[in-house]
Amino acid sequence: MGVLPERIEELLETALVSELTVIDRGGRPVTHPLIPMYDGELLYLTSSVLFSKKLEHIKENPRVSISISDPVAVNVERFARATIQGDATVDDSDLHSGWEERVLPLWRKKEPMIDFFLGKRVALPLFFERAIIEVRPRRAFLWEDGRTDREPEVFEVVEAVR
């Protein structure tokens, strides 16, 4: 049992893609499809330096949202949609291998092929220079059955006791 409602945790457990929305320098929303990962307390995403504009945006404004909206990309008995708002930090202290220690095990669960690609790191060296985006959830919205024409349940997230 983590800090998020169980229905949302189920979605996060299997979702192959989510939509991360960050705010750019001009105050506009910018959305990126990314694999979401979750350890019961924080959400994790990882970004290659090749696509690192979002990291720059987060460093300037840490407020983000992550939505799970695609019924095809989750494997749950009863579909729902969810959006989690939170505060993000970028961990780029070790772009080369920090992410391997911290998020690769979670990534591997969703995309086992990643080990094959990582074995060919020499072919795509910059893709595997990666930062970790850690998101501490603040508020969550849940749409049962995925129906956004009905009002969502809203959950204020209580921080886990550490």
Q: How far is the CB of 29 from other proteins (least distance, A)?
A: 4
What is the footprint of other proteins within residues 139-158 (CB under 8 A)?
139, 141, 143, 146, 148-152, 154
5 sits near other proteins (criterion: CB under 8 A): no
Distance from C-alpha of 142 to C-alpha of 153, rounded to nearest angstrom: 5
* 66-98 exposure pattern, b = at least 16 Cβ within 10 A, e = fewer: bbbbbeebbeeeebbbbbbbbebebbbeebeeb
- In this chain, which of 41, 49, 76, 136 binds other proteins, going by CB under 8 A? 49
What is the footprint of other proteins within residues 55-94 (CB under 8 A)?
55-56, 61, 63-67, 69-73, 75, 81, 83, 85, 92-93
The answer to whether the CB of 89 falls within 8 A of the CB of 115 is no
The answer to whether the CB of 95 falls within 8 A of the CB of 55 is no
Helix (H, G, I), strand (E, B) or coil at 91: strand
The binding site for other proteins (CB under 8 A) comprises: 16-17, 19, 21-23, 27-31, 33, 48-53, 55-56, 61, 63-67, 69-73, 75, 81, 83, 85, 92-93, 95-96, 110-114, 121-127, 129, 138-139, 141, 143, 146, 148-152, 154
